[in-house]
Amino acid sequence: MAQAHPDENGVPLQPLLIEPLPRQTEFARLNLTYVVTSKRKLQQLVEQGKVDGWDDPRMPTLAGLRRRGYTPESIRLFCQRIGVSKADSWIDYSVLEGALRDDLDPKAHRTVAVLNPLKLELQNLADDWEDHCTAPLHPHHPEWGERQFTLGKHLWIEAEDFMEEPPKKFFRLFPGNRVRLRYGYVIECTGCEKNEAGEVIKVTARLFEDSKSGTPGADTYKVKGNLHWVNAGQRRASHRASVRTPVHRRNPWLGRHRFLQSLNADSLNTVQAYLEPSVQGCQPGQIYQFERHGYFVADRENHTPDQPVFNRAVTLKDSWSKP
């Protein structure tokens, strides 16, 4: 609303504003290191089939982040931490991942997954031997209860946990060394079996039946290694699943006209993994911490009870900011 005021000769002057005009304040755009955020470039990725749509888990869109396992709380925490600025700047990718870790750590159920499986055989046990083990759903929330699983003669372990000729300070499996199966018993490695190509296909060991965690006398065994494992011997003792582990790499930025050459062609790595039976029946969008590996979410589009599919949201530790 305006009002005209005449000058000394009675000629009306320009109206004077009773209320001030609205003001516009512009802030700098959000730039993440090694991440394409331009809508035009993201549309090009979709149209050329470089990704599987706007909600592809690798896409930095809200739909993609949600499918990847990012929660609304983690996005808000990220925005609070970076603040707003009028000057252009770059936010390190580790800040985004750190916000997600801090949000998921207190509320994600724990479970064990073997992503690169190698068979382990406990030779001094009978084929039908089994024992029941338990572990907390969350180490800081005992009221949430425990998860149940069994240990038998045949197990799956991570392939990287065994070496025939280990370097110094390697505390996992190698011939003659003792380790503890997490939540279970102490074992001693006795050797391995190889195929015709010289690749290790099975590790052998013997189990000490008086060494179960939490039982009298178990603390007499002093070992430095602690292995994650999943039962491989019984039907329903483990849960087979497809696990996607999106990989971010520090590919050099080649400029706006050659950005496609900066993309990581191996950004979506899929492996066939074995999980604890506690994940059976989980719903799409449900998030777990796979002990040792990171936080994973049941895919909202492809996950089914019969064919489970998980996407890794973030690793447990910040390895991104390290060169």
pLDDT in tens, 73-86: 999 999 999 988 88
* Residue at which a domain ends, from 188, 210, 231: 231
Residues 36-52 have pLDDT tens digits of 888 988 999 999 998 99
Q: Are residues 173 and 225 in the same domain?
A: yes
Residue-wise pLDDT for 220-238, tens only, equals 899 999 999 999 976 667 8
**Separation CA 149–CA 181 (nearest Å):** 13
Domain interval for residue 152 = 112-231
- 6 found inside a domain: no
55 with 162, same domain? no
Q: Are residues 57 and 97 in the same domain?
A: yes
CATH number at 213 reads 2.40.240.10
Q: How confident is the model at residue 27 (pLDDT cuts 50, 70, 90)?
A: confident
Distance, CA of 294 to CA of 115 (rounded, Å): 11
Question: Which tokens hold the place of 122?
Answer: 């406990």
Same domain? For 122 and 85 the reply is no
- pLDDT tens by residue, 174-219: 999 999 999 999 999 999 999 999 999 999 999 999 999 988 888 8
Query: pTM (2 decimals)?
Result: 0.87
Per-residue pLDDT at 15: 60
- Residue 278 in any domain: the answer is yes
Beta strands 146-152 and 130-136 are antiparallel
Tell me the C-alpha distance between 167 and 173, whole Å: 12
Give pLDDT tens digits for 289-317.
999 999 999 999 999 988 999 999 999 98
Residues 238 and 154 sit within 8 Å (Cβ to Cβ): no
DSSP per residue, 69-91:
T--HHHHHHHHHHH---SS---B
Last residue of a domain, one of 231, 258, 273: 231
Judge whether 289 and 280 are in contact, CB under 8 Å: no
Query: What DSSP letter does each residue of 135-170 carry, written as one string?
Result: EES-TT-GGG-EEEEEEESEEEEEGGGB-SS--TT-
CA–CA separation, 261 and 251 (whole Å): 9
Please indicate, yes or no, if residue 8 is contained in any of the structural domains.
Answer: no
- 59's CB contacts (< 8 A; 6+ apart) are 42, 45, 51, 53, 65
Provide the number of structural domains found in the chain: 3
Neighbours of 35 (CB within 10 A): 15
207 contacts: CB under 8 Å, gap ≥ 6: 122, 124, 125, 185, 186, 187
Looking at the fold, whether 136 and 246 belong to one and the same domain comes out as no
79 and 118 together in one domain:
no
Domain boundary among 215, 231, 247: 231
Residues 266 and 221 in one domain: no
Residue with token string 């888990």 = 57
Residues 127 and 194 in one domain: yes
Q: Specify whether 132 is located in the same domain as 201.
A: yes
Q: Burial, 201: exposed, middle or buried (Cβ in 10 Å; 0-12, 13-18, 19+)?
A: exposed
Strand order from edge to edge, sheet including 268-275: 109-111, 287-290, 294-298, 309-314, 239-246, 268-275, 113-114
* Together in a domain, 94 and 49: yes
